[in-house]
A and B are shown apart, each in its own frame.
Chain A
Amino acid sequence: MSQRSVRPAVPPCDAERAPAAAEVLLRLRGVGVRRGTPGDLRWLVEDVDLAVRRGEIVCLIGPNGAGKSTLVRVAVGVQAPTVGSVERAPGLTVGYVPQRLAIDRTLPLSVRRFMSLTARHREADVTEALSATGVTHLAGRLLQNLSGGEFQRVLIARALVRRPDLLVLDEPVQGVDFAGEIALYDLIREIRDRLGCGILLVSHDLHIVMAATDTVVCLNRHVCCTGTPQTVAETPAYRDLFGTRAAQALAVYEHHHDHAHDAGGQAVPLARDRQG
Chain B
Amino acid sequence: MLDDFFLRALLAGLGVALVAGPLGCFIVWRRMAYFGDTMAHSALLGIALAALFEVDLTLGVFAVAAGVALALVVLARSELVPTDSLLGILSHSTLALGLVLIAFMTWLRIDLSGYLFGDILAVNRADLAVIWGGGLAVLGVLAWIWRPLLAGTVNAELAAAEGLHPERARLVFMLLMAGVIATAMKVVGILLITALLIIPAAAARRFAPTPEVMAILAGALGAAAALAGLFASLRFDTPSGPSIVVAALGVFLFSLLLGALRDRLAGLRP
Contact = CB atoms under 8 A, between A and B. Distances in A.
Specify which of B155, B159, B208, B209 lies most central, judged by the most chain A CB atoms within 10 Å of its CB.
B155
A109 B151 contact: no
B28 interface: yes
A101 B31 CA distance: 15
Contacts of B164: 118
B153 interface: yes
A104 B150 CA distance: 12
A162 B162 contact: yes
Contact of B211 (A96, A109, A119): A109
A101 B156 CA distance: 10
Interface string A80-115: 000000000000001110100111101111100110
Contacts of A106: 28-29, 201-202, 205
Interface stretch (A14-22, A70-78, A215-223): A70-78
Given A108-B211, A113-B211, A94 B31 contact: no
A98 B214 contact: no
B209 A73 contact: no
A226 B158 CA distance: 27
A118 B158 contact: yes
A107 B160 contact: no
A107 B163 contact: no
Given A94-B162, A101-B155, A107-B154, A118 B211 contact: no
Interface of B is mostly: helix
A117 interface: yes
Contacts of A168: 161
Contact of B29 (A77, A101, A107, A117): A107
Interface residues of B, number: 27
B157 A78 contact: yes
A96 B162 contact: yes
A108 B161 contact: no
Given A106-B28, A108-B208, A108-B210, A118 B153 contact: no
A108 B214 contact: yes
Contacts of B150: 117
B147 interface: yes
A108 B151 CA distance: 13
Interface of A: 73, 76-78, 94-96, 98, 101-104, 106-110, 113-114, 117-119, 162, 168
15 contacts: A73-B157, A76-B160, A78-B157, A98-B158, A101-B154, A101-B155, A103-B154, A108-B205, A109-B210, A109-B211, A113-B210, A117-B158, A118-B147, A118-B151, A119-B147
Given A107-B153, A107-B154, 13 more contacts: A78-B157, A96-B157, A96-B162, A98-B155, A98-B157, A101-B154, A106-B28, A106-B201, A106-B205, A108-B205, A110-B209, A118-B147, A119-B162
